[in-house]
Amino acid sequence: MAWVDIPRLKRSVVEQLREVMPAGDGWPEVRVDYAYPGQAHQRPVHVWLFNARCISEYGSMGAGRKRRDQTWTFEVVIEAVHQGAAVDGSGFNVGQEKADALVTQIAGAIDEWVATNPTLGQTQAGDVPVDHATFSSFTLEEGQHATGAATRGTCVITIRIRPK
């Protein structure tokens, strides 16, 4: 049994996520990258794939190269930076609220994409035999930024694969 071509699956996920990112109506450009682009290339709103992990489950009969199922997790990082004053005249941190809202709306778009596309665009006969995928968790982190407020969200997509 061959190892699964995870870079191919990640490239496919990136291409599909680019298609479902919110746009128009005052939305900033949402860039989606295969990996962290580095600070020099980051945008005010940026999405990238981060860690990938695998757990293999072997059948009850033996081990080695026998058939096994794999459960992969991908972390999709969403980062938004609100430029300008974070606190309004009343003392409310509206910049953080705006950054949080951008990140959670993008996370919602990713959740909807996984829910309506549970094989992530793959087929059992295709290159990566995805059985099903789920949006399994989301973490929202807030932080200070030199020019305003920053929010990072991490979505975890769990993917069940049955290698050929």
Q: Looking at the structure, give the CATH architecture of the domain made up of residues 6-57+68-161.
A: 2-Layer Sandwich (3.30)
> Which pLDDT score, from 0 to 100, does residue 55 have?
87
Distance CA 48, CA 74 (A): 10
> Does the pTM exceed 0.75?
yes
| Residue 154, token pair as written in the block | 């991490």
The pLDDT of 109-137, averaged and rounded, is: 86
Instruction: Please say if the pLDDT value at position 136 is more than 50.
Output: yes
Give the separation between CA 42 and CA 161, rounded to whole angstroms: 32
Question: Which residue reads 């932080």 in tokens?
Answer: 143
45 near 109, Cβ under 8 Å?
A: no
* DSSP code for 41: G
- Alpha-carbon gap, residue 118 to 115, rounded angstroms: 6
Q: Is residue 131 very low, low, confident or very high in pLDDT (cuts 50, 70, 90)?
A: confident
Tell which wins on pLDDT, 95 or 134: 134
Residue 30's CB is within 10 A of a number of other CB atoms, namely: 22
Looking at every residue in the chain, the average pLDDT score rounds to: 84
Please tell me the distance from the alpha carbon of residue 70 to that of residue 3, in angstroms, as a whole number. 10
pLDDT value at residue 1: 41
